[in-house]
Amino acid sequence: MTRVLGIETSCDETAAAVVARGENGAPVILSNIVFSQIEEHAAFGGVVPEIAARAHVEALDGVIEAALAEAGTSLEEIDGIAATAGPGLIGGLIVGLTTAKAIAAALGKPILPINHLEGHALTARLTDRLEFPYLLLLVSGGHTQIVHVAGIGRYERWASTIDDALGEAFDKTAKLLSLPYPGGPSVEKAAEKGDPARFAFPRPLKGEARPDFSFSGLKTAVRRAATELAPLAEKDVADICASFQAAVTETLADRVALSLKRFRAVYPKLAEPTLVVAGGVAANAAIRATLEDLSRREGFFLVAPPLNLCGDNAAMIAWAGLERLEKGLVDGGAMAFAPRPRWPLDETSAPLIGAGKRGVKA
């Protein structure tokens, strides 16, 4: 049994996991430990990088020990050490990658610096044993993009946000409405009691031929509505959240449909084309339902990871490391690999510039 220890410290979760390939070839998650820092950041309404880095330093050794214990595995039995090397908060990346390098050096085992986005991209192969190729919708706090996944290390970005990531829009909406951190689940919960038709929020880029996303205008519309109604009653907050979520799901369906059609054109003989949704925002039930309906209409099969594998976790990092280890994709100079706070999955695509304000490459 090939075993890989994975370490994830790119943001505000300190995580370690052991993933293996069993004798029958099936992937096995032997352990997946996640230590959340929500309480440390809640008072600030968002992640404070310095606090996150210090928390990783304090928690990581214990989290690794817990992951090994739960897996019933010793460090000597580990075949490789995988760690998130980017993108993410530089302080956290340094903590995780440095720890992984130290363990690998002490054991004489391979070190595998992993792109966090590749971890999300390959999760469906861990959970569903999915074959290449497939289409990936990656939606998280820092990224909103559609990627053609053709193989390990073979990623082509087909669409991206020209301004804000979807997860950021959820978080900013929650903060504006004084909802608890983390914002995404709070907005989703409030939306369950709201009227999605009360506010006519925009559907950014809907109907346009370009397949990209935009959420800054939607965020501005939410702020305007909240300001005009202040002070907000509980019903106002619920209705704003429901209307915001309705705008998001309708926009996603319109934007993603373009890439589904392109995928069909590229692979006309593929019997069961697959759309994978991954990232923290993929845990949203309304978004999952919308993508399920869209996939069914377009003749696609939708794969969405279990909720505990949507957010940041080390199992996906360990799995990406295992896939690379098995294919011999181990860089002899990996010990010198420096953490990358920005690390696009597709490094060949040109940056997108939205409204002349921001270049989005990752």
Mean pLDDT of 166-179: 96
pLDDT in tens, 222-267: 999 999 999 999 999 999 999 999 999 999 999 999 999 999 999 9
DSSP 93-138: HHHHHHHHHHHHHHHT--EEEEEHHHHHHHHHHHHH-PPSPEEEEE
Region for residue 231 given its phi and psi (left: phi exceeds 0; alpha: psi -120 to 50; beta: otherwise): beta
Residue 356 belongs to a domain: no
In a domain, 355, yes or no: no
Q: Tell me, yes or no, whether 170 and 150 share the same domain.
A: yes
Predicted local confidence at residue 42, as pLDDT: 85
Same domain, 197 and 259: yes
Q: How far apart are CA 32 and CA 27, in angstroms?
A: 13
Query: How far apart, in whole angstroms, are the C-alpha atoms of residue 173 and residue 220?
Result: 9
DSSP 8-state assignment for residue 230: P
Residues 141 and 275 in one domain: yes
Q: Scanning the structure block, which residue is given the tokens 């998650």?
A: 29
Nearest CA to 81 out of 155, 8, 189 is that of: 8
What is the average pLDDT value for the chain, to the nearest integer? 95
Per-residue pLDDT, 353: 57
Q: Which domain holds residue 17?
A: 2-122+309-346
Banded model confidence at residue 362, pLDDT cuts 50, 70, 90: very low
Beta bridge partners of 344: none
Same domain for 261 and 301, yes or no, is: yes
Q: Indicate whether 314 and 294 sit together in one domain.
A: no
In a domain, 352, yes or no: no
Looking at the fold, whether 165 and 31 belong to one and the same domain comes out as: no
CATH number at residue 243: 3.30.420.40
pLDDT tens digits, residue range 148-169?
999 999 999 999 999 999 999 9
Q: Are residues 86 and 180 in the same domain?
A: no
Total count of domains within the chain? 2
**Nearest CA-CA partner of 317 in 8, 1, 70, 93:** 8
Percent of the chain at pLDDT > 90 equals 90
Q: Are residues 76 and 213 in the same domain?
A: no
- If asked whether residues 196 and 337 sit together in one domain, one would say no
Predicted local distance difference test score (pLDDT) of residue 46: 84
Task: Choose among 214, 141, 143, 142: nearest CA to 181.
Answer: 141
Q: Pick from 260, 283, 307: which residue ends a domain?
A: 307
Residue 237: inside a domain, yes or no?
Answer: yes
8 A C-beta contact, residue 212 and residue 161: yes
Residue 355 has pLDDT above 60, yes or no: no
One domain, residues 201 and 285: yes
Q: Is residue 108 assigned to a domain?
A: yes
Same domain flag for 248 and 284: yes
Q: Structure tokens of 199? A: 């506010």
| Whether residue 270 is found in the same domain as residue 329 | no
**Which structure tokens are listed for 197?**
């038709």
Whether 351 maps to a domain, the answer reads no
Q: What does DSSP assign to residue 11?
A: S
Cα–Cα distance for residue pair 279/117, rounded to 1 Å: 9
pLDDT digits (tens, 9 = 90+) for 55-82: 999 999 999 999 999 999 999 999 999 9
